[in-house]
Amino acid sequence: MRPCFVDESFPLGISLGASVRVGKRSQVTRLLNGAETRNAIWKGTRRHFDVGTGLRSSADLQRVLSFFEKVGGRLCGFRFRDPMDHKSCAFDATPSATDVTIGTGDGTTKTFQLIKQVGAASVAWQRKITKPVAGTVSVAVAGQLKTVGSDVLLDPLTGNLEFQTGHIPSNDQVITAGFLFDTPTRFENDQLEINLLHFEAGQVPSIPLVELLI
């Protein structure tokens, strides 16, 4: 049975004010001489968010409560716009079709996964982008733009690009892409504790979310 996922975005105005915590998992062993050995248990990261900091009004509280009900608490995942990382390019730049190399053609492979390169050198890894924002994806093959929707089809629920007949990349042609993307996320708890009087008095509730690793 596939996990439940509601293909809707958490309220954007609230998500962009959320606090973000990015976690990795490593093992550090201290040797008898005081030196250390360090090994990565996770190659990538996992993000945690608290959307309480994005609340600005009682109407925002109602939006969060309504969304919580819609997705069944932590039962179903949903789209979330990470305020710190939602572009294929630098934070202050505009996405373009040459931002990220997603593969190299061989004349037969027609499906390629959207990814984002993260880190450098020995800690570099490829973040799989499974929730691109429709209408923001641009694609190029050997630097030449392709039309998304006809030359190449996008699956917005998986981040897969499928090149159509006559547009499949030839040998050694580099495929690049640019896009905005959402992070698949769920509520971390099955309960929401909200007090309107406390909120209006300046007390911000904690409403934690956690990234889904797909």
What is the band of 141 on the pLDDT scale with cuts at 50, 70, 90? very high
Q: Which of 68-77, 85-94, 121-130 has the lowest mean pLDDT?
A: 121-130
Task: Please check whether residue 52 is in contact with residue 206, taking contact to mean a CB–CB distance below 8 angstroms.
Answer: yes
Q: What is the 3-state secondary structure (H, E, C) of the chain?
A: CCCCEEEEECCHHHHCCCEEEEECCEEEEECCCCCEEEEECCCCCEEEEEHHHHCCCHHHHHHHHHHHHHCCCCCCEEEECCCCCCECCCCCCCCCCCCEEEEECCCCCCEEECEEEECCHHHCEEEECCCECCCCCEEEECCEEECECCCEEEECCCCEEEECCCCCCCCCCEEEEECEECEEEEECCCCCCCCHHHHHCCCCCCCEEEECCC
**211 Cβ contact list (under 8 Å, min separation 6):** 46, 47, 48, 49, 183, 184, 185
What confidence tens digit (pLDDT) does each residue in 26-61 have? 788 888 888 888 887 677 889 999 999 999 998 999
pLDDT on residue 206: 92
CB atoms within 10 A of CB 190: 10
What confidence tens digit (pLDDT) does each residue in 166-197 have? 999 999 999 999 999 999 999 999 999 888 87
One-letter amino acid identity for 123? V
Higher-pLDDT residue of 139, 33: 139
What is the band of 76 on the pLDDT scale with cuts at 50, 70, 90? very high
Task: Please check whether residue 47 is in contact with residue 182, taking contact to mean a CB–CB distance below 8 angstroms.
Answer: no
pTM of the model: 0.89
Rounded CA gap, 59 and 162, in Å? 41
Rounded CA gap, 17 and 169, in Å? 40
Task: Please check whether residue 19 is in contact with residue 49, taking contact to mean a CB–CB distance below 8 angstroms.
Answer: yes
Rounded CA gap, 163 and 169, in Å? 8
Q: Which of 60-74, 109-123, 194-208 has the lowest mean pLDDT?
A: 194-208
Residue 14 backbone dihedrals phi, psi, to 5 degrees? -80, -40
Q: Across the chain, what does the average pLDDT equal?
A: 92
| pLDDT over 80 (residue 2) | no
